[in-house]
Amino acid sequence: MEEQVGAFWHRLITRLAEHRYPQAAVHLESVAPLLGILFRALGGDGGLEICAAEAEPHRARRKWLQRLAGTGDRIALAWRDERTLRLPPVLDCFPESALNRDLYLWLAALAVQRPPASFGDWFIHSQQMTRETLSRFPGLRSRYRRLVDAHLCLRPDPERLPPEEARQERAVRQALQSPGQVTELPPAKRPPQPVPLWLHPSPPQAAAPGYREDDPQMTPSDPRNRSLGARKRKRGERVAMPNKDQGLITIRMENIFSWSEYVKVDRSTDEEEDLDRAQTAAEDLDRVALARDRKASGARLRFDLDLPAESEDDLILRDGLLLPEWDWKRRSLLPNHCRVQELLASEAPPQPLPPHLRRTAKRLRHQFQALTPARVWQHGQPDGQEVDLDAYLRFVTDRRAGVNTHADGLYRAMRTGARDLACLLIADLSLSTDTWINDQARVIDVIRDSLYLFAESLAATGDAFAMLGFSSRRRDPIRIHQIKSFAETYSAQVRGRIQAIKPGYYTRMGAALRYGADLLAEQPAGRRLLLLLSDGKPNDLDKYEGRYGIEDTRHAVQAARRLGLTPFCVTIDERGNDYLPYLFGTGGYVVIRHPSELPTRLPLLYARLTA
């Protein structure tokens, strides 16, 4: 009974204290595609990823009911850095869903203005960004005015605040109504109420001093890692590693800290970690403190030692090919930065086509045979099966008219036309392809079936094609697995190599595209298609993560286009629409929502691209 009364009291006091409108809530996931298009269309940085911002304490004055209920002390504000644009995960501050949606649009437009490296006076900079946004995009003025009017109704009444805070609140109101007119924010013991129409007053830094992106202890793609949410980010800081066996003193109650404070206690790395409890604790933290431990856990050790012996690994065809890599911060290519290792499966006996693909392959072969150019008569040939009557009559007429002509090209021949096409398919064989998509198949199984049907289809057309697989382990080496070269014909031996593919390591996509572009550029075909098959973003163990990998891949795609190639990406990543337009352009990729459909859709997609 006591628990029921307590729960009822908690719900009642929380409902009375909170001034939210859940019936008019708009979630970031529902508008993220629209915001991405708007942000980039207005001139925003195309490499930024849109994700959810974490709610943080604001220290402004709260109402009595809010203090009693323990609510109203945190708010999620929009902010951006060099890698991401962070927006509130849900907006329900206005009673109308249209206003909440307009607030998302306004924040996306406001974030187009690049914030200063050091915010300094947040109050002044926020007004300047608002004024510049309204000046660049006059169509947003009416929307901004509606948002300001609605927001002012929700802000505290200056007449009911202490004198210092009242002057501060009046300055904020005037700054919202007339951006740029207020030159300073009056001082007060408390900060003003948060302004959701402006960006974060003190956005977190991307990394603390001393952080190295190529730290071998940081493995973002480790399969044991867990995410705190689909689009959530935590504020982090680097601290020194605590000494072992120095626990928390609990004799004096004043020595017990809250969860939001850093406690220098060593949490030993056991063989079996309670990941669920650790994830729950991390979600409750405002700031995540990280320390570099020189001791690796057992699970990490097992993962790093899961390497094939040299005698059991694939055959090395060529080792030591060096490729450059794009450093987007320096705006320059790093020469000879990556080493490519060309491999061929050592144990790949000839294989027949798997039985479950034979019916589909037969249907695709019939469809693709229609793309084969028909046999046509070629006139004016020096030899052939028949006399070319038109050429012979012209020759006789010219001779009787006294014109001295040569008796060349008096025959016609029946010959088959040719499709002037070449295609190179590069398949992502990273560790993530070991993920199960259902109870029957993994991603690598779907990729294997796709390669089978793709090869069966192109063999029916007679187009020149090659297939490669790639994975990487830092920048040295990038493993390129040769499945079929341009010089080979599709055969049971090639099917054996397809059957032998297996999940590798990581996805250094830019290096794989540069290697494939150089290989495809050597083909004499008039049209050359560079087809990438992937299941996620570019990433690797070192700093090749996030914006660095995105920018390097984009630079590789642009370099391939300058060589006269046509890069195209096929992905099964559900979030592909967030970053692929920046990499391949709006018409240079396709996202397949159901991975099981990839084997049948990939050949048809090729037919559409080469029609």
Q: What is the pLDDT of residue 274?
A: 55
Nearest to 213, CA basis, from 540, 589, 610, 571: 540
> How confident is residue 262, by pLDDT bands cut at 50, 70 and 90?
very low
- Residue 477, preceding bond cis, omega within 30 degrees? yes
Q: What is the pLDDT of residue 417?
A: 58
In 113-243, alpha helices (H): 122-136, 141-154, 163-177
Sign of the CA dihedral 480, 481, 483, 487?
positive
> How confident is residue 99, by pLDDT bands cut at 50, 70 and 90?
very high
Average pLDDT over residues 510-531: 94
- Give the Cα separation of 112 and 39 in Å (integer): 7
Backbone angles phi, psi at 54, to 5 degrees: -90, 140
Of residues 377 and 237, more confidently modeled: 377
- List the structure tokens of 582: 């920046």
- Give the Cα separation of 132 and 112 in Å (integer): 10
Q: What is the pLDDT of residue 265?
A: 47
Of residues 109 and 410, more confidently modeled: 109
- List the structure tokens of 570: 């096929």
- List residues bridging with 316 in a β-sheet: 343
Q: What is the pLDDT of residue 374?
A: 54
Q: What is the pLDDT of residue 269?
A: 46
- Give the Cα separation of 11 and 13 in Å (integer): 6
What b/e sequence results for 95-125 when a residue is b if at least 16 CB atoms lie within 10 Å of its CB, and e otherwise? eeeebbbbbbbbbbbbbbbebeeebeebbbb
The answer to whether residues 172 and 192 touch, using CB atoms and an 8 Å cutoff, is yes
- At position 581, the amino acid (one-letter code) is P
| Res 550 pLDDT > 60 | yes
Nearest to 481, CA basis, from 503, 453, 455, 464: 503
- List the structure tokens of 259: 């969860």
- Give the Cα separation of 121 and 118 in Å (integer): 9
Q: What is the pLDDT of residue 214?
A: 44
Average pLDDT over residues 255-283: 51
The answer to whether residues 378 and 413 touch, using CB atoms and an 8 Å cutoff, is yes
What b/e sequence results for 428-466 when a residue is b if at least 16 CB atoms lie within 10 Å of its CB, and e otherwise? bbbbbbeeebeeeebbbbbbbbbbbbbbbbbbbbbbbbb
- List the structure tokens of 444: 């690598």
Backbone angles phi, psi at 320, to 5 degrees: 105, 10
β-pairing verdict for 26-27 and 90-91: antiparallel
Q: How far lies 349's CA from each of 316, 427, 452, 487, 495, in Å?
A: 18, 21, 15, 20, 9
- List the structure tokens of 25: 């809530």
Average pLDDT over residues 560-570: 95
Most confident of 108-122, 198-212, 271-285: 108-122
> How confident is residue 522, by pLDDT bands cut at 50, 70 and 90?
very high
- List the structure tokens of 305: 């030692």
Average pLDDT over residues 104-111: 94
| Res 424 pLDDT > 90 | yes
Question: DSSP label at 473?
Answer: B
- Give the Cα separation of 379 and 383 in Å (integer): 10
Q: Which residue has the tokens 């020595």?
A: 255
Of residues 509 and 47, more confidently modeled: 509
- Give the Cα separation of 371 and 448 in Å (integer): 24
- At position 151, the amino acid (one-letter code) is H
What is residue 412's three-state secondary structure?
strand
| Res 34 pLDDT > 50 | yes
Q: What is the pLDDT of residue 292?
A: 57
Calculate helix-pair angle for 355-369, 443-461, nearest 10 degrees: 40
> How confident is residue 451, by pLDDT bands cut at 50, 70 and 90?
very high
Most confident of 193-207, 212-226, 228-242, 284-298: 193-207
Q: What is the pLDDT of residue 244?
A: 52
Between CA 120 and CA 126, with CA 123 as vertex, the angle to 5 degrees is: 95
| Res 428 pLDDT > 50 | yes
- List the structure tokens of 443: 């991603």
- pTM for the model stands at 0.71
Of residues 280 and 393, more confidently modeled: 393
Q: What is the pLDDT of residue 97?
A: 93
What is residue 456's three-state secondary structure?
helix
Average pLDDT over residues 345-365: 91
Average pLDDT over residues 574-578: 86
419 CB contacts (<8 Å, ≥6 apart)?
A: 371, 372, 373, 461, 462, 463, 610
| Res 76 pLDDT > 60 | yes
* Percent of the chain predicted with pLDDT > 70: 77
Q: What is the pLDDT of residue 149?
A: 94
Domains of the chain: 2-177 (no CATH), 235-304 (no CATH), 348-369+419-609 (3.40.50.410), 375-416 (no CATH)
- Give the Cα separation of 486 and 464 in Å (integer): 6
Question: DSSP label at 158?
Answer: G
Question: DSSP label at 140?
Answer: G
Kindly report the number of other CB atoms within 10 A of residue 599's CB atom.
Answer: 22
- List the structure tokens of 17: 């204290």
Sign of the CA dihedral 120, 124, 127, 129?
negative
Q: What is the pLDDT of residue 286?
A: 61
3-state helix, strand, coil in the chain (%, to 5): 40, 20, 45
Per-residue pLDDT tens digits for 362-421: 999 888 877 766 556 677 787 777 888 888 888 888 888 888 777 778 888 766 556 678
| Res 68 pLDDT > 70 | yes
- Give the Cα separation of 421 and 371 in Å (integer): 12
β-pairing verdict for 589-591 and 566-571: parallel
Average pLDDT over residues 259-288: 53
What is residue 316's three-state secondary structure?
strand
Average pLDDT over residues 218-241: 52
- For 568, the enclosing helix (H) or strand (E) is strand 566-571
> How confident is residue 236, by pLDDT bands cut at 50, 70 and 90?
low
Q: What is the pLDDT of residue 306?
A: 45
